[in-house]
Structure 1
Amino acid sequence: MSAEPAAAAASGPAAEPSAGLRKVARVVLLDPEDRILLMHGHEPEDAGDDWWFTPGGGLEGDETREQAALRELAEETGITDVELGPVLWRRVCSFPFAGRRWDQDEWYFLARTKHSAMSAPRIGDGLTELERRSVAGMRWWTCQELSASHETVYPTRLAELLRRLLDEGPPSSPEVLDTEIV
């Protein structure tokens, strides 16, 4: 499940994840031109309540976060030819979506693909029923486009984080982002 909330997030101090949080793996997928693939989502019953987010979702069974990242990417985008890199960021978030509250411990993996912005990504065949009702599409974004956008994007500092990643490379250990609660 790749839900993200539509409202602006309030940031607070970074929290250590607890056992009660849903474990989530997300993918910062970059093409050969360093564009990032983002999905466009909305509340299932309100397409005007929308936002952009990275592919990914919850772990299933005893799979690792790495396995979940690759599975979710394939299910949501159909993209399977990726080189999965390190965990870039970790974030705890809590938000309302589809009539319930989601409390998540998210890990963001760097991944690279040979797909490019010229290769139009497609919504994958593996979407859940809820995802089919709430995912409107996806597109490749340049860092400049992301920085200039006035649309809601999660995590809220993604443009800044992507710029730093492209300028400095992956961090030596995952950066813990501020907790986001909506």
Structure 2
Amino acid sequence: MSDDGVPVQRPRRTRSAVRVVLTDEVGRVLLFEDSDLGVPGARWWMTPGGGIDPGETVGQAAVRELREETGLELPEDQLLGPVAVRTVWHGYSDQIVEQAEWFFLVSVPAFVVDIAGHTEDEKATVLGHRWWEPARLAAAADLVWPADLAAIAALRDAPDTWPVDLGTVEESIVPI
């Protein structure tokens, strides 16, 4: 550990993932509150999504991740996108993850979220979920990943630009 509390050596991992900006009929966005068990009090809100399994397309992964994380079953052709792509670096207390991400949009009637499909890691770190009203989300002091969520959601109206390259960003609890 360095003098400022940042771990000197953390394993580095690379993966590909999907994120889904899921809205309901009145424009609320579903987000999950996540945490880092190695940093007491650290928490942030994030979109549903996760790693792409071997042999899956990005669309198939998005459908599977929605089913596992929210209980929502929907056909792949209901997804919009991918609307954006980026590379993100996440620094956590126990690891550094470089992640290639594809973003999808989908709007559905509000539903009761079912977290029965969460992995053991998600069960340990995910603190809850909430349907966020856009104005409340814009005014929130809470950390939200992706930080440019509103801009990604606005891509719904610009399909001729898909997928937008959002470049490389860092979203970390523990700096890299």
TM-score normalised according to structure 2 size: 0.80
The answer to whether the Cα contact below 8 Å between 1:44 and 1:130 also exists between their aligned partners in 2 is no
Rg larger for: 2
Q: Which of 48, 52, 55 lines up with 1:55 in the alignment?
A: 48
The answer to whether the Cα contact below 8 Å between 2:63 and 2:74 also exists between their aligned partners in 1 is no
Alignment pair present for 1:111 and 2:94: no
SS of 2:41's equivalent in the other structure is: strand
Alignment pair present for 1:69 and 2:69: no
Q: Which of 110, 113, 116 lines up with 1:125 in the alignment?
A: 116
Residues 6-46 of structure 1: per-residue CA shift (max 9 Å, x gap): xxxxxxxxxxxxxx841101111111112111111001344
Q: 2:93 & 2:129 partners in 1: Cα distance?
A: 20
The answer to whether the Cα contact below 8 Å between 2:84 and 2:152 also exists between their aligned partners in 1 is no
The answer to whether the Cα contact below 8 Å between 1:38 and 1:52 also exists between their aligned partners in 2 is yes
Residue 149 of structure 1: CA displacement? 0.9
Q: 2:40 & 2:46 partners in 1: Cα distance?
A: 15
User: How many positions carry a matched residue from both structures?
Assistant: 157
Identity of aligned residues (%): 36
Alignment pair present for 1:85 and 2:74: no
Alignment pair present for 1:42 and 2:31: no
1:180 alignment counterpart: 169
Alignment pair present for 1:150 and 2:141: yes
SS of 2:25's equivalent in the other structure is: coil
Structure whose residues are more often strand by fraction? 1
Residue 98 of structure 1: CA displacement? 5.4
Gaps of 5+ in 1: 1-19
Q: 2:144 & 2:80 partners in 1: Cα distance?
A: 22
Gaps of 5+ in 2: 1-12
Residue 77 of structure 1: CA displacement? 1.0
Query: What letter is aligned with 1:30?
Result: T
